[in-house]
Structure 1
Amino acid sequence: MTHTQDRVLVLVPAWNEGRNVGITVREIRAASEDFDVVVIDDGSTDETAQVARDAGAVVLSLPFNLGVGGAMRTGYTYAARHGYVRAIQVDADGQHDPADIWSVLAGLEDADISIGARFAEVGAYTVRGPRWWAMLVLARVVSRISKTRLTDVTSGFRAANRRAIEQYVSYYPAEYLGDTVDSLVAAVHAGLTVIQVPVAMRPRVHGTPSQHPIGAAVYLFRSAFALLLAVMRNPGRRSEPKVSAT
């Protein structure tokens, strides 16, 4: 298939999401005929890959679990090699509403990266305790770095234009929170711009996210560590990303 500039690549990282990924893929495909769906099967041990194929997605299967960062770098490499100029991440668990994809993509008219943001006066998504404080601190620090008000820098619901796709191919860390905070800070230091678009998040269809107190405390400390690494890695790194011809 020859991919034209009016098509959008929807990247769906998935690890053991066999109960959710089929529904997500079908919802994305129903949202627009302009969406091409690629599921990155991140070393799943369940039927994730087959379910995604049956739902109509192209599946890239990794031999073992790399984490969201590794999966997304694989997806962006696919996007660059196939000439896409717009790509957007949608999580497999059903929390990102495919009906909001066009709204998030619209942010690319004014920036290189568009984040579908929680905590932006839309929806009823709430977080409490240490996790909330960690997310608040992350948002404020990254807002200062990007010179843009951001409320949700850990959201995976984000779109990238051609420049951002090339940046992500060049640098997209695999470690915890690197796929969101570190990759975003690196992109800003490389000269890319970012904007946020308010969206409402949905609850997971199947499975239970970890929200217990110990998990929240761990999230707090790991968030601080991830932010420190992101800031230390990138000072002064403002060279323009190279963009290959399509």
Structure 2
Amino acid sequence: MARRNGETVQDRIVALIHDRQLQPGAPMPTEPQLMDLLGASRNSVREAVRALQALGIVEIRHGFGTFVGRASLDVLGPSLEFRIRSGPQSVRALQDLVEVREMLETALVGRVAGSTSESRLAALDALVTAMQTDLEADRAFHGLLYESCGNELVLQLITLFWQVYHQVEPLLGAPEERMDVIVANHRRIVDALRARDAVAAQEAMQRHFRDVKERIARAEAGQVATPLGGEAA
């Protein structure tokens, strides 16, 4: 395999996957084969494979070998969470994430407003009811909303942003929203979809995120006066 200028062993393994058109789940060449193909040392190959495993590009199944991974966006979760938690403007960084999620979901909910089936509406109704006692129902609700788009990247992004938000949500302090208000916001979304009203669906989604952003604004105001984790002077 020809070596291109500036390429690392990691880059060349990825190029090998593409050159051979290996699909997710396909077996990778063995470690000795990679050493021979790439002209690289055992340690270099092992380090590159470990780095690619962390990115989800390869999957190591102990006792079976190394396989092409699915590169799920879940691997970005720890980096996004670290970015929000580590900076001095952590609440602002969380607001940025919520704004991206709002733009994405507001556009998408308008897109599916005219095509949501009765069976999916019934499932969304059930998830809204379940939100009273089950936080996971909220995640499932936002994922189910956009299944009909047929866009796997969209579904992964929605799940990723939801998970990261709820991981760092304690930065905002105790929630002030009552659960019945949260449930009502989601119910409005379903009602708009049932009416096949794209504008109302988008307005309901924006209202849902407006409540979230107001909570972030309150936390940011408190952060300016008192550093997160600190005590009032």
Q: TM-score range by the shorter chain?
A: under 0.3
Higher RCO (Cα < 8 Å, 6 or more apart): 1
Higher-strand-fraction structure: 1
TM-score, normalisation: structure 1: 0.25
Q: Report which of the two has the higher share of helix.
A: 2
If you compute each CA radius of gyration, which structure gives the higher value, 1 or 2?
Answer: 2
